[in-house]
Chains A and B, each alone.
Chain A
């Protein structure tokens, strides 16, 4: 929501453990960066959140990710506003732990559509209370009966909980049928994993932007996790490549490989076999417990987890500097062919 600041924020450089301790608490309303389980998930932060046993988390999300998978694996999410409760696309579609929790009545799930969540974050980012969107009329998503937060008595609880899920109305300016008003998304904390952050807090990534800039501006506090902290002066040489200005950033954590097993374009690729292993483990509770003990509670810290993965794995996942992804990684049954250019372009141009 629109808010005046008495003084400019000063981004604090801190450790992963301290950042989770400072910004996460029971009942926090949080949003994560990236796209599904594949791109720039702030995994290390969610991983540390699980280790610090934060509970009753309310996630406002553009869809599930490795972060929400980890939190659901220990039942840490209480309220989940999202449009897609999958997480791994081709490497594990549905979040089985979330489904289990939901069916047992432990999770409140508010369904929107992907475009609608994007628009809600956009409204939150630009300080607008709501935004009109041609959300799918006639879809049960916009059936007045299906308002999960309303059913739980949470509507209007405070400024993070809009009084209504949506309002369908006649489009008043041009007379173009009905449109839907969607409330702004207003999380307390945005957790954003990026490639580089300046020592003052300016942040940069390469590859798709998903909705991360909007999430950062929609939230009260912003924690940046970066593959590397670089001199702020260096990022100022090509400012058009920066996405998040430092004045919205509260904390910067340097966390190499912190998005594993999702990818950071031009740094490392996603680990699809590892994600398939997570999906398989979630199918029964004994396997899940074993997996969590091994991969979440076992390692001494995030670095220790990387040591456990081993240099061969990290080498295979390391992105090459031209394409931004790895061609050494086995994703299917055969290795990636060596390519010089996209063959559809070679064949018929653009």
Chain B
């Protein structure tokens, strides 16, 4: 007889906490778990659709069971049974603490300073964590036009800590963005037309010390130093530091690298696959479990 969700749930804590071997998971799974590791149990998280949401839902089962998730459309601490495809999905509103609207999320929660972690996507990023989700080329006559800010620039500047998930390519990791949608640790002061630290542009506001702390890509995990400059923290299994540097449009600081990104553990993979995305919406491919896990699951 097929196992019910409750039966499977009993198995979570029986799953080995040792890292899976390369080949036993796909890259988006590793990235989703890398996202989950950025979440703390006392965080109030404001996250975008896709891998950030999937990662944070995974963290809710494991390392951060009490992290509170805010969804952009007005949902506060929804307890989902089925993974949402949108931040306004009724699935995300299930058993929420309260339901409001955009004024609640951007005003009462975000501008008021309650959000401790923002987890967002981006099309391109600069070496100080400034993100472009708007356009490439001349703003009025772009060669590429993306969706534009959405909540990215609001969340990315007012959340206490900000993390991004971005596809890493040379043309997406830049010394300076052509258009900055969400400023990083350095940005323009348009009043004086000077490029300067965010702390100075935002001086006196409650958000002067907030900004990017981590970036997860398909090649590695990054953090930011005291000067606000990005550096490589870990590289994913199967990737070399040289490959990371080759896929970066500026001279990347690799002096602080800590080694490989840890592979997701079997327990983490089990939660991600069986409970967070069992409908195979976000992670449509699934690698088979190794034999010892199969026998545990039965």
Interface on A for B, CB 8 Å cutoff? 34-39, 62-63, 82-86, 89-91, 93-94, 99, 102-103, 105, 111-119, 121-122, 133-146, 148, 151, 168, 171, 175-179, 207-214, 263, 265-266, 269-270, 272, 319, 323-325, 327, 331-350
Contact between A210 and B139, CB atoms less than 8 A apart:
no
Interface on B for A, CB 8 Å cutoff? 4-6, 9, 12, 49-50, 57, 60-61, 65-66, 72-75, 77, 79-82, 85-91, 93-95, 99-103, 106-107, 110-111, 134, 139-142, 145-154, 156-158, 179-183, 187-191, 198, 201-208, 275, 277-282, 284
Specify which of A34, A99, A136 is in contact with B157 (CB 8 Å cutoff): A136
Given A265-B93, A325-B90, A343-B275, residue A90 in contact with residue B149 (CB < 8 A): no
Contact between B65 and A331, CB atoms less than 8 A apart:
no
CA–CA, A211 to B151, complex, Å?
14
B73 to chain A, nearest CB (A): 4
Contact between A138 and B9, CB atoms less than 8 A apart:
no
CA–CA, A37 to B87, complex, Å?
11
Contact between A91 and B65, CB atoms less than 8 A apart:
no
A52 to chain B, nearest CB (A): 28
B119 to chain A, nearest CB (A): 15
CA–CA, A257 to B275, complex, Å?
31
Contact between B93 and A207, CB atoms less than 8 A apart:
yes
Contact between A90 and B49, CB atoms less than 8 A apart:
yes
Specify which of A94, A144, A151, A348 is in contact with B66 (CB 8 Å cutoff): A348
Specify which of B79, B156, B208, B278 is in contact with A136 (CB 8 Å cutoff): B156
Cβ contacts under 8 Å, B81 to chain A: 323, 339, 341-343
B76 to chain A, nearest CB (A): 10
What are the 4 closest A-B residue pairs judged by CB atoms, nearest first?
A: A138-B187, A177-B204, A35-B88, A348-B65
Contact between A134 and B180, CB atoms less than 8 A apart:
no
B186 to chain A, nearest CB (A): 8
Which interface residue of B66, B103, B278 has the most chain A CB atoms within 10 A?
B103
Specify which of B142, B202, B204, B281 is in contact with A175 (CB 8 Å cutoff): B204
Specify which of B6, B149, B205, B275 is in contact with A340 (CB 8 Å cutoff): B6
Residue on B with the closest CB to A327?
A: B82
Residue on A with the closest CB to B13?
A: A347
Specify which of A39, A119, A144, A179 is in contact with B88 (CB 8 Å cutoff): A39
CA–CA, A266 to B103, complex, Å?
23
Cβ contacts under 8 Å, B95 to chain A: 342, 345
Contact between B204 and A176, CB atoms less than 8 A apart:
yes
Contact between B65 and A342, CB atoms less than 8 A apart:
no
Contact between A344 and B279, CB atoms less than 8 A apart:
no
CA–CA, A140 to B188, complex, Å?
8
Contact between A111 and B149, CB atoms less than 8 A apart:
yes
Question: What's the dominant secondary structure at chain A's contact region?
Answer: loop
Contact between A343 and B73, CB atoms less than 8 A apart:
no
Contact between B9 and A83, CB atoms less than 8 A apart:
no
CA–CA, A347 to B66, complex, Å?
11
Given contacts A178-B204, A265-B90, 7 further A-B contacts (CB under 8 A): A86-B150, A137-B205, A142-B190, A178-B201, A207-B93, A342-B80, A343-B61
Contact between B57 and A344, CB atoms less than 8 A apart:
yes
Contact between A207 and B57, CB atoms less than 8 A apart:
no
Contact between A168 and B88, CB atoms less than 8 A apart:
no
Query: Mind listing 20 A-B residue pairs with CB under 8 Å?
Result: A94-B145, A94-B146, A115-B102, A136-B153, A145-B139, A146-B140, A171-B205, A177-B205, A208-B99, A211-B101, A212-B101, A270-B86, A324-B93, A331-B281, A332-B284, A333-B284, A337-B5, A337-B279, A342-B94, A346-B9
Cβ contacts under 8 Å, B146 to chain A: 94
Cβ contacts under 8 Å, A266 to chain B: 90
Residue on A with the closest CB to B191?
A: A168
Contact between B66 and A118, CB atoms less than 8 A apart:
no
Which interface residue of A327, A335, A336 has the most chain B CB atoms within 10 A?
A336
Residue on B with the closest CB to A63?
A: B150
CA–CA, A142 to B140, complex, Å?
15
Specify which of B89, B181, B205 is in contact with A325 (CB 8 Å cutoff): B89
Residue on B with the closest CB to A275?
A: B85
B124 to chain A, nearest CB (A): 13
CA–CA, A91 to B61, complex, Å?
27
Specify which of A38, A89, A176, A338 is in contact with B5 (CB 8 Å cutoff): A338
Cβ contacts under 8 Å, A349 to chain B: 65
Contact between B279 and A209, CB atoms less than 8 A apart:
no
Residue on A with the closest CB to B146?
A: A94
Residue on B with the closest CB to A134?
A: B111
